[in-house]
A and B are shown apart, each in its own frame.
Chain A
Amino acid sequence: MSQAETCYTRTAVALHWLAGVLILCGFAVGLWMTGLEFGPLKFRWYAYHKWIGITVFLLAMLRLGWRRKHPPPPPVTMPEWQRRAAATTHVLLYALMLAIPLSGWLYSSATGVSVVYLGVLPLPDLVPKGKALAAILKVLHVTLNYTLLALVILHAGAALKHHFVDRDGVLARMLPFPPRA
């Protein structure tokens, strides 16, 4: 098979890693900022966290759009259950990349601190301000995030297994500078 058929496009690869880095940053910032003492620093990092989340949402939309025009390469030979597990994981990863920023946006609306993307673009409030609703949305946001964390670990673990155990070139298809055979 030619390179074009076995590899993701450069754009898909770039979007994948950019989203990956931002998800990890957003998650780490989210964990850290909640423990900060109430102060300007906390306000700042909450804002940055929201901006990261909205960016992940936009990147996910962009990736879905790109996928329609540039389908990913077909899966390599592997047991059927693994192929299905991979497909399901990918669907869930996309779903969470959209759902988590959305849950954060809802949560922000409920707390009365709207999202102003990059400090310049005000996003509309999706729900009215309310402490009870905010408490529910917080639990939702956190739960979805830990679900994503589990899936990311599964996703990365599977990629490493393909690379080091199966040696089938699955990981190489997504590397920015794939080792040429």
Chain B
Amino acid sequence: MPPFRSFIPSLAVMLMAASGGASAQGVLIDRSEIRFVSKQMGAAVEGKFRKWKANVDFRPKDLAKSKAEFEIELASVDLASEESESEVKRPLWFDTAKFPVARFASSGVKNAGGDRYEIAGRLSLKGTTKDVVIPVTLTKDATGNSVAQGQFTLNRLDYRIGEGLWADTDTVANEVAIRFRMVLPALN
């Protein structure tokens, strides 16, 4: 499975480490997605990232050993227009030449009741690192895979995304909704 090789180098190691209970490891990248929605003059504009890596080891029965790490290649952004795509890579936005990758690394996972979990961690974006808590809901799809879905809001100006003339939040809102859907193979 060539698409996964580069993303989950340690899958075999993790498979061996799996110990009892339904846990999920690795992410089926081509069935998963990381999207974001920003507001321009009140209109929701959706984008997504085409290239990212994930290292997820999710164990509902052993949350202390669970972890989630993501690396997003910011230049792989997919937006409404080519004009927007090239703009968002420039220094005032992502500045992909200087900061090509956004990173998230979990520091703790806790159950928030039922199938809901909260993943605390640190998000590094454009040279700024901040603590974030990402809510996740876990479900199963028809084929028995686990599906982790969630949404959280990020204030773009906290990370200096859209500086200078773009800092006016009446045109492009400060709040950006990050939405993700991860398909994790369930292992027993």
Which A residues contact B (CB, under 8 angstroms)? 38-40, 43-44, 46-47, 111-116, 119-120, 122, 129, 131, 134
- On chain B, which size bracket covers the interface? 10 to 19
From B42, B171, B172, contact of A120 by CB (8 A): B42
Which secondary structure dominates where chain B touches chain A? mixed
**Which B residues lie within 8 Å of A115 (CB)?**
43
Given contacts A38-B84, A43-B172, A112-B79, 15 further A-B contacts (CB under 8 A): A43-B41, A46-B41, A47-B41, A47-B42, A47-B43, A112-B45, A112-B46, A113-B80, A114-B45, A116-B42, A116-B43, A119-B42, A120-B42, A122-B42, A134-B81
A129→B81 CA distance, assembly (Å): 10
Please name 25 pairs of A and B residues whose Cβ atoms are closer than 8 Å in the assembled complex, sorted by A: A40-B165, A40-B168, A40-B171, A40-B172, A43-B171, A43-B172, A44-B41, A44-B171, A46-B41, A47-B43, A111-B80, A111-B81, A112-B45, A112-B46, A112-B79, A112-B81, A115-B43, A116-B42, A116-B43, A119-B41, A119-B42, A120-B42, A122-B43, A122-B44, A129-B46
Chain B residues close to A by CB (< 8 Å): 40-46, 79-84, 87, 165-166, 168, 171-172
Give the chain B neighbours of A119 by CB distance below 8 A.
41-42
Q: Are A43 and B80 in contact (CB under 8 A)?
A: no
Please indicate the chain A residues that have their CB under 8 angstroms from the CB of B166 in the complex: 39-40
Leading 10 A-B pairs by shortest Cβ distance = A112-B80, A47-B41, A40-B171, A119-B42, A116-B42, A116-B43, A114-B43, A43-B171, A111-B80, A38-B87
With a CB–CB cut-off of 8 A, which chain B residues contact A114?
43-45
Q: Which residues of B contact A134 (CB under 8 A)?
A: 81
Interfacial chain B residues near A122, Cβ < 8 Å = 42-44
Identify B80's interface contact among A38, A116, A129, CB under 8 A: A129
Residue in chain A with minimal CB distance to B171: A40
Inter-chain contacts of A39 with B (CB < 8 A): 165-166
Q: CB-nearest residue of chain A relative to B80?
A: A112
